[in-house]
Structure formats: structure tokens, C-alpha cells
């Protein structure tokens, strides 16, 4: 718990702050302790406000639950009086679906005094444990939801707001009855600030208007913003619970708690049918009405919700409930953001200019037009990179629909009709761009090392334009093609060449290009995101045969909310269309005039990432809605594993990465976002049971000890500039801080389990940290490039590691290893040639093979190099697993340290599964 959060509560005295110990916020009880006439039996776990214990009511001969409150609040008589008043109100809620509150009792242990809340002990399963990956059957959803709504309606009638409604606070008994727990505890004013800090996601932000309370993923927009809430806040949270019940996924998700809060406040929940197409449309509409941002436009009472759910249940049982939403149906308009100035300031209605450019046309009515969204493709794999002719008649895109192994270029009439497959090469083709007359398509292909090719729009002979190019774009007058070059990570250079063929010319040479360029309507300028002289921004570069004019920054970065990194999509007159690289998707329209940007307006926002966006002269947009999932997979370990099909180990809607196996392969630790922020989990590979390890939310890296008993992790929970290295038992226990500011990323344990190999917070330093003493020993330093992912051989005699000389080159080395001695450069033995990216290495349990991930064939695949430890000699590299498909690929280290590990006869690694389709957006006529 962060003391800074308590600072926001003016009722906390200076003396209380001075005596407060954030490491021990609760009083700990042991079995046999008496709290009034209740005898403590055993701990149950941590609840939203304190430790929870099972106890025996010795008077009435029944088991109860006891929740301890912080001793800090028990020292304030005014707080106790307010708490008791609220507890009496909650105790008056006599409802079969609300867990009862039996009373308050003083508790004393080890000289400390606090309060104990005595609650009904409910025997059942938490709702979050019953919800599977695909959600619950509709019949169960309606049965449980009606009971939850009835409980909330009764509480609201008594003036009590829950404020922390979530599946974990709802128990389903063996008889199928629902019990809502922790009811109203967040409303207790004496513990508002404390409750805000004790969710599973770490400290929540506050505002001057009040504390932000509850669990992040289920908050209402007004709750997330710290504004005053009423019963309609519970209705929004109830909609999020319903969404998860029918889909198995959360309505709002982000990479961090803050990004989730931003999504709740600013972005619509994705339509239920986009996650589970089998949900009845009436139920989807009801959830959408709960999720309206404006409380005045939501369902106004839980009583009305209960009646609506009971009617849906009756219709389901009688067979009158309608089927699911059709795949091509227009998404509910209430679920998407619209701006009053949408037509004029966002998309507008674009008309073709005289030189093939676009001009912005104001709307004919002051009323805002409606946004209509429909599926353009409905594939099960990867369909993305849309491009459209200026007259809007043809759509080109990349799709792997033919056999699922690689993408080809397809062209399809915008008005409907069958798609035409334009390219048929076995290599991956993508990034199509139409010529202004619509007769040709330039595209990026991975064939023969990669480059830009050109082909007739409806198929024909393909020819190479330039090697190593990507993101081609025709100038509006058709004379030029601009493109970028470079490999992994940052794209290096910007080039322009004649569209008819000829020598390329480099532009903006003293910069590092970071995205695709877009043309101005006059064909005389391009805009590109780049880094120059320490400034990263969107720059305008003049196209001049003699010498390009000095580029000017447009300031797009400072215009978009939360400094989102923009992906440039189209430049139409004085308007720039761009999307966001944030975890959730968004399309923005930005005013660009005289080399400056301003007036960003949201055009479309989605909970899913947005792929490339294409726009035609009439203002119709096409974009790829991308869905990704990262899970852990395995193949048999050994040279004979070559060609084996990978098998999924973890399959959830969360992101699982950084696998770390014990030496015998019986235990697996990994990082997961299944609790929103990254946390550490341990899996028993025999029973498949997974448990969360006590850890903060800001996990940077984690590793399991060779004996499988201890987990080490680095975290930034103490602040962005403070990284702690911590160890904790794999089965639980009290975490112990080994050292602070001694490690940035954690790589692995030494084979004897006594020390950890880490990347120091200072760049380019590989260090060893003794677990017992916290002593730091530097092994490799002084290089002008990063030393990455060090591993100790099973016999402890060798160290493998990666060196990155440049962005698109990484080389694996081994060197003799001995505690107490730095590793000299002269002792390095190369394992790979360094001509491509070779990384993510792991030792075989016998120490005679080094497995690694390489991009040597254009894809991230797994290879093996034999190693003779007696001679320090490396053998010929052999392929183990080729992962060339577009739908499932090995996770790149640039996204997150993927990690490859070996043990127990298997290799374990994260793979990212991707699915995407093209959606079309049109503007309906505004009502008069």
C-alpha cells in the first residue's frame, strides 16, 4: 500500500501518519484467537479492506467470516462512530441475495487493537471462477443476473451503493443461488481511502472531488474520474459484469490500470457481438444501455433491469428470444462515440480535388451525422492493410484466407461481389497502395529478401520496383512513390522514386523514420513520424528535385490525448487522419495548417487496436480491427523435436509471457495480465493448477529458481525510478526485498540457485546479484550496445548472452563463467554469425544444446546449436520449429521479453495469435 494514497484523506492526523507502517496495514490473527464470542479457525484470504478469517460463533454454533480493519482507523472515535452507523444500515439489508453482516467486534492481538467485521460465511464458488473463456450459457447468465439485480435494487432502495461490484464479489452457491459480498463496504466513509488502495490493481488515482474507489476494470466513468456517484454507477458496473458473463472477456481492458481508467472514461465498450456472436440481440442491447457514459442515458434503476432480465428469461424458456446479432449488422450507434462537430472537424465529406487530392466539404446540416459501421470481410484469420481507390470503387487488402500460411493481395468491389486474389507467391504480401487511376497496386512482399513490387490491380505480371522497401505510397499526381526502409524496430530511412521506375533518392537523411509516410494533396510534400535531434514528432518534408526544404515538425504528438504516438493514415487538404499506437484503438482527425497541427477530434474509438486506415474521396473509411492474444506453448525438447506441432499450455484472454521452468520441468512461472496489471503466476505442469504469487502489479520480469521453490521478480511498485528485486515462495509466503535499484530486468537464476543474473538499471551492464546478501557483482560492462538475456549452463560453468550491435542484428555468445570474476571480451565464443536477429536463447538440461530464436529466414523461428562443454566448441545450427504462419507467431522481444525456456523434456515459449478483419465506416445523412 502506498502511503501517498492516504495523504489524500484530510482526516488522517500527522501522528497517525508517523506511526503508520505500510508493510503491516492489518492486525494478524492466529488460530484460536478470540474475537468477542467468535473463535478464529483459519485464514481465508485478503478481502477488499482487510484480512479475512473463518471463525466459529460459539453462541449460535455456526461458522462465520471475520474481516479485520486497519488499526489506523480503529484509533479514531469519530471514524468508529461513522463506521458503526453505516454498518447498521448495511445490517438492515435483509435480502436472500446479499451476504449478511452480523456485527462489529473489537479485536486485540500482540498489543494492537482494531475492529472486526463479522459476516455471513457463504459456501459456494466466486462468479469469476465459474466464467469460462467463452462466458456462461445464456440461461445461467439470466438466472444469476436477475438475482444480482434484485439484490442491488434492494440496497439502492435503502440508500446503499455497492461501488465495487465485480464477479469476485459474487458467490454462486451449490444450489444455484447468488450472494453478493462486500456490499456497501466501499461506501463506508471511514475507510474510503483505504478501500481505494486495496484492490488487486494497486493504488488508484484521486481527484479533488473525492477518492477513486473500487476495482478498476468494473468502475463507472464517473467513479473512475473521482466524481460523485449514485446508484447509476452500480448499473454501469453491473453492465461490465454482464458483459464478462456472456463473453468471458472484460468490457474494458488496458495494459495498465491507468490505461483501463482512460478507456472507461473516454472509449465505448466493444459490442458484445464482436466477442461472442451467439448472444441474443436483446441482451446485447440491455448491456449497451448499462454502458452509456452519461448516467442520465443509462437504465435508471436496478428494479427496471431486474424486470427486463426476468422477461428475457421467460422469452428464452418459451423460445421467443431472438437469435444473435447477424455478423454483418451495423453496430449499435449508442456504443460508439460521435462528435457534434464530426462532419466538419473529423471526417467531413471529402471531395476529389483537381490534382487528385481531397478537399474538406462542410456538412449540409448543423446536426451531427450518424456513424454506420459494418463488416467488409468476415475471415477467421488475418485480413488487414486495406487500401481504396480514390473513387471508392475497389478495395485492396492483404489476407491469409487461402491457406492460412501467408498473406496475399486481394481486390474486392466496394459495393460487394467476390474478391479476386491478385498475388499467389508463397511469401507474405501486404501493405497495398493503389495508383491514383486505380490501375496498379504497389505492395510490400517478403519474397527474395523483401521489397516493393507492382502489379495490375486485377492481377497480372508482378515486377520488383526496389529492394528493402516497405509502406509504399503513390503521390496524388501519380509521378512518385515514397517509401521507407529498415528492419526490426525503428525504420531507418525515407526514400522517394519515380513511379515508372528509376533511381531512389533519400530524403530527410539525418533522421530515424518511425512509421509510414503520407502525401500532401499537392504531391509536393510528405509527412512522416521521425526522430531528429532528440525530438520525435511528425515532420513535413518537401519533395524537391534540387534539394529538399528543411523539414518542419507539425506537433501532432502534443495534440493527441495522453501524448499518443500517431500512425499517419491520410492527409486530406488541411486535415490529417491518424490512428493511435495505444493499447486500444482510435482514429483522429487533426487540423494541419502552415506546418502546425491543432484541433484533434476523435473520429472513431474502439476497445481493440486499429490497423491501417484507408479513406476514399467520398469520406468512406476502411480499417482493420485487430485482436491479439499471447499464450504459452510447448514442443518436445531435443534435436528430434524438429517439425513437432506446438501445443498450447495456457489459453486465456490475458497476455501470458516470460515462461521460466524449474530444472525438472515440473513447475512453470510466468508473467500474466489476467489480473489486469502484470503479475506472477506459477503452474504445476502435472496437475495444471495455476496460482498467483504474492507480487505487486508493476512486474518487470520474473524467474523461477532451479528447484522450483522460489520466484524472483523485479517490479517498479515503489515508483518509476525505483526498481526492487524481490523473492517469494512459489507457493506463497511473505515477499523479501533482496535489493533496490540493483536490477532493471531479471534474466534467470544461476544453476546453484544462489544468485540471479540481471540487467542493471544502468544500460549495457550485466550483473550478478547474490540472493542472500543482495551484493551486486558486475560481469560485463563498458559496451556501446546492450547485453541481453544472460543464461547460466546447467553445470554452472558457462554463461550465454546476447549482444545487439545494431537494431536489426543480434548475436549469441557463450563464455566461461566463475563467480567473482568479470567476463573478459576475449573469452567470448560466438554461437551465431550475427548477420540477423538471433536471441531468446536457453540451455538444454544436459548442457549440450543451446536453443534460440532467430529471424534468419524472415520469420521468428526456433533453432538449436550443439555445444561441447569440454572443448567450448559450437556445432552447426539446425532448425527446430518454423513459425511462418500469419495467425500464430513467436512473440517479438520488442513487444515484451518473450523468453524461451527448456526443462522436463519440453521447450516453452510465448506465441501471439492474431485475428483481424476489415470494417467499413460510412456517414449517414444527418436528421433534419
Catalytic positions, written as ranges? 164
Residue 494, phi then psi, degrees to nearest 5: -115, 130
In angstroms, the CA 667 to CA 661 distance is 6
Edge-to-edge strand order for the sheet containing 787-792? 787-792, 798-806, 809-816, 829-830
In angstroms, the CA 790 to CA 572 distance is 49
In angstroms, the CA 216 to CA 482 distance is 44
Residue 77, phi then psi, degrees to nearest 5: -60, -40
Nearest to 612 by CA among 649, 581, 657, 651: 581
322: left (phi over 0), alpha (psi -120 to 50) or beta: beta
In angstroms, the CA 696 to CA 678 distance is 8
In angstroms, the CA 394 to CA 415 distance is 8
What Cα–Cα distance (Å) separates residue 170 from each residue in 77, 160, 305, 669? 32, 17, 18, 29
In angstroms, the CA 102 to CA 119 distance is 5
- 3-state SS string for 790-833: EEECCCCCEEEEEEEEECCEEEEEEEECCCCCCCCHHHCEECCC
* CB 852 within 8 Å of CB 839: yes
Helix (H, G, I), strand (E, B) or coil at 339: coil
Helix (H, G, I), strand (E, B) or coil at 101: strand
C-alpha cell at 347: 471526417
In angstroms, the CA 184 to CA 192 distance is 11
Which H or E run includes 257? helix 257-266
In angstroms, the CA 817 to CA 826 distance is 13
Residue 643 CA from chain centroid, whole number = 31
In angstroms, the CA 138 to CA 119 distance is 31
In angstroms, the CA 766 to CA 825 distance is 13
Helix (H, G, I), strand (E, B) or coil at 58: coil
222 Cβ neighbours under 8 A, 6+ residues apart: 228, 229, 233, 295
Q: What is the DSSP string of 688-755?
A: --EEE-S--S-EEEEEE-TTSSEEEEEE-TT-TT--EEEEEETT----EEEEESS-SEEEEE-TTSSE
Alpha-carbon Rg for the chain, nearest whole angstrom, is 30
What Cα–Cα distance (Å) separates residue 741 from each residue in 89, 718, 757? 48, 11, 14
Percent helix, percent strand, percent coil in the chain, to nearest 5: 15, 40, 45
- 3-state SS string for 851-894: EEEECCCCCCEEEEEEEECCCCEECCCEEEECCCCCCEEECCCC
Taking each helix axis as running N to C, give the angle between helix 302-318 and helix 281-290, from 0 to 180 degrees, rounded to the nearest 10.
170
Amino acid at each position: 500500500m502506498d502511503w501517498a494514497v492516504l495523504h489524500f484523506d484530510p482526516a488522517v492526523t500527522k501522528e497517525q501518519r508517523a506511526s503508520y507502517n505500510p508493510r503491516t496495514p492489518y492486525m494478524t490473527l492466529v488460530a484460536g484467537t478470540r474475537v468477542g464470542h467468535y473463535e478464529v479457525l483459519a485464514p481465508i484470504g485478503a478481502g477488499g479492506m482487510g484480512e479475512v478469517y473463518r471463525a466459529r460463533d460459539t453462541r449460535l454454533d455456526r461458522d462465520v467470516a471475520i474481516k479485520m480493519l486497519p488499526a489506523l482507523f480503529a484509533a479514531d472515535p469519530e471514524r468508529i462512530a461513522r463506521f458503526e452507523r453505516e454498518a447498521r444500515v448495511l445490517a438492515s439489508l435483509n435480502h436472500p441475495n446479499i451476504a449478511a453482516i452480523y456485527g462489529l467486534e473489537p479485536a486485540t492481538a500482540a498489543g494492537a487493537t482494531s475492529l472486526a467485521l463479522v459476516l455471513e460465511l457463504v459456501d459456494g464458488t466466486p462468479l469469476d471462477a465459474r466464467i469460462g473463456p467463452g462466458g456462461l450459457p445464456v440461461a445461467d447468465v439470466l438466472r444469476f443476473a436477475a438475482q444480482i439485480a434484485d439484490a442491488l435494487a434492494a440496497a439502492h432502495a435503502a440508500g446503499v451503493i455497492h461501488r465495487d461490484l465485480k464477479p469476485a464479489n459474487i458467490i454462486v452457491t451449490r444450489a444455484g443461488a447468488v450472494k453478493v459480498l462486500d456490499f456497501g463496504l466501499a461506501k463506508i466513509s471511514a475507510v474510503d481511502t483505504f478501500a481505494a488502495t486495496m484492490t488487486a490493481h494497486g493504488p488508484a488515482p484521486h481527484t479533488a472531488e473525492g477518492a477513486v474507489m473500487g476495482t478498476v476494470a468494473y468502475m463507472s466513468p464517473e467513479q473512475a474520474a473521482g466524481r460523485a456517484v449514485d446508484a447509476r454507477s452500480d448499473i454501469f458496473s453491473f453492465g461490465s459484469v454482464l458483459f464478462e458473463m456472456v463473453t468471458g472477456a472484460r468490457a474494458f481492458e488496458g495494459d495498465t490500470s491507468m490505461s483501463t481508467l482512460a478507456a472507461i472514461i473516454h472509449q465505448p465498450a466493444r459490442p458484445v457481438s464482436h466477442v461472442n456472436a451467439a448472444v441474443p440481440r436483446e441482451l446485447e442491447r440491455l448491456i449497451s444501455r448499462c454502458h452509456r457514459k452519461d448516467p442520465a442515458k443509462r437504465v435508471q434503476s436496478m428494479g427496471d433491469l431486474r424486470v427486463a432480465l426476468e422477461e428475457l428469461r421467460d422469452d428464452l424458456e418459451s423460445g421467443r428470444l431472438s437469435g444473435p446479432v447477424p455478423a454483418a449488422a451495423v453496430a449499435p450507434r449508442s456504443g460508439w462515440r460521435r462528435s457534434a462537430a464530426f462532419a466538419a472537424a473529423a471526417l467531413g465529406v471529402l471531395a476529389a480535388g483537381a490534382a487528385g487530392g481531397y478537399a474538406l466539404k462542410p456538412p449540409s446540416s448543423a446536426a451531427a451525422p450518424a456513424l454506420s459501421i459494418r463488416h467488409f470481410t468476415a475471415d477467421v484469420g488475418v485480413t488487414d492493410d486495406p487500401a481504396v481507390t480514390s473513387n471508392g470503387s475497389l478495395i485492396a487488402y492483404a489476407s491469409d484466407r487461402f491457406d492460412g500460411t501467408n498473406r496475399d493481395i486481394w481486390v474486392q468491389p466496394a459495393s460487394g461481389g467476390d474478391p479476386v486474389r491478385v498475388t499467389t507467391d508463397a511469401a507474405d504480401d501486404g501493405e497495398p497502395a493503389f495508383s491514383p487511376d486505380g490501375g496498379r497496386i504497389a505492395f510490400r512482399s517478403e519474397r527474395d529478401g523483401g521489397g516493393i513490387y507492382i502489379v495490375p490491380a486485377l492481377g497480372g505480371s508482378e515486377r520488383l520496383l526496389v529492394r528493402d522497401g516497405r509502406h509504399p505510397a503513390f503521390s496524388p499526381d501519380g509521378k512518385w512513390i515514397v517509401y521507407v526502409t529498415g528492419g526490426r524496430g525503428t525504420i531507418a530511412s525515407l526514400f522517394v522514386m519515380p513511379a515508372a521506375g528509376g533511381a531512389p533518392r533519400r530524403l530527410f537523411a539525418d533522421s530515424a523514420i518511425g512509421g509510414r509516410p503520407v502525401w500532401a494533396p499537392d504531391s509536393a510534400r510528405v509527412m512522416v513520424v521521425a526522430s531528429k535531434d532528440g525530438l520525435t514528432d511528425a515532420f513535413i518534408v518537401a519533395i524537391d528535385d534540387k534539394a529538399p526544404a528543411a523539414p518542419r515538425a507539425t506537433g501532432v504528438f502534443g495534440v493527441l490525448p495522453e501524448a499518443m504516438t500517431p500512425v499517419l493514415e491520410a492527409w486530406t487538404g488541411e486535415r490529417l487522419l491518424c490512428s493511435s499506437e495505444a493499447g486500444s484503438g482510435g482514429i483522429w482527425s487533426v487540423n494541419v495548417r502552415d506546418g502546425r497541427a491543432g484541433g484533434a477530434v476523435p473520429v472513431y474509438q474502439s476497445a481493440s487496436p486499429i490497423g491501417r486506415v484507408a479513406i476514399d474521396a467520398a469520406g468512406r473509411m476502411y480499417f482493420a480491427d485487430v485482436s491479439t492474444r499471447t499464450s504459452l506453448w510447448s514442443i518436445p525438447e531435443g534435436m528430434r523435436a524438429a517439425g513437432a506441432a506446438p501445443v498450447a499450455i495456457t489459453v486465456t484472454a490475458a497476455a501470458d509471457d516470460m515462461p521460466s521452468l524449474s530444472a525438472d520441468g515440473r513447475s512453470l512461472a510466468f508473467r500474466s495480465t489476467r489480473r489486469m496489471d502484470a503479475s506472477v503466476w506459477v503452474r504445476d505442469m502435472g496437475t495444471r493448477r495455476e496460482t498467483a504469487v504474492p507480487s505487486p502489479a508493476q512486474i518487470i520480469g520474473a524467474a523461477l529458481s532451479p528447484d522450483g521453490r522460489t520466484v524472483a521478480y523485479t517490479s517498479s511498485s515503489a515508483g518509476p525510478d525505483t526498481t526492487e528485486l524481490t523473492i517469494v515462495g512459489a507457493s506463497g509466503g511473505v515477499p523479501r526485498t533482496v535489493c533496490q535499484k540493483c536490477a532493471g530486468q531479471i534474466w534467470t537464476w544461476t544453476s546453484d540457485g544462489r544468485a540471479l543474473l540481471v540487467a542493471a538499471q544502468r544500460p549495457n551492464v550485466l550483473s550478478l546479484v547474490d540472493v542472500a546478501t543482495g551484493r551486486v557483482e558486475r560481469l560485463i560492462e563498458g559496451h556501446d550496445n546492450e547485453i541481453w538475456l544472460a543464461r547460466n549452463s546447467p553445470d554452472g560453468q558457462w554463461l550465454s548472452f546476447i549482444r545487439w550491435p545494431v537494431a536489426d542484428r543480434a548475436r549469441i555468445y557463450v563464455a566461461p563463467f566463475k563467480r567473482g570474476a568479470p567476463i573478459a571480451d576475449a573469452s567470448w565464443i560466438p554461437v551465431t554469425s550475427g548477420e540477423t536477429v538471433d536471441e531468446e536463447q536457453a540451455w538444454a538440461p544436459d548442457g549440450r544444446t543451446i536453443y534460440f530464436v532467430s529471424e534468419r529466414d524472415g520469420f521468428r523461428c526456433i533453432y538449436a546449436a550443439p555445444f561441447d562443454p569440454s572443448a567450448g566448441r559450437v556445432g552447426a545450427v539446425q532448425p527446430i520449429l518454423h513459425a511462418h504462419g500469419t495467425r500464430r507467431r513467436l512473440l517479438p522481444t520488442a513487444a515484451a521479453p518473450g523468453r524461451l525456456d527448456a526443462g522436463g523434456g519440453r521447450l516453452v515459449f510465448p506465441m501471439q495469435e492474431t485475428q483481424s478483419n476489415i470494417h467499413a465506416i460510412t456517414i449517414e445523412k444527418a436528421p433534419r
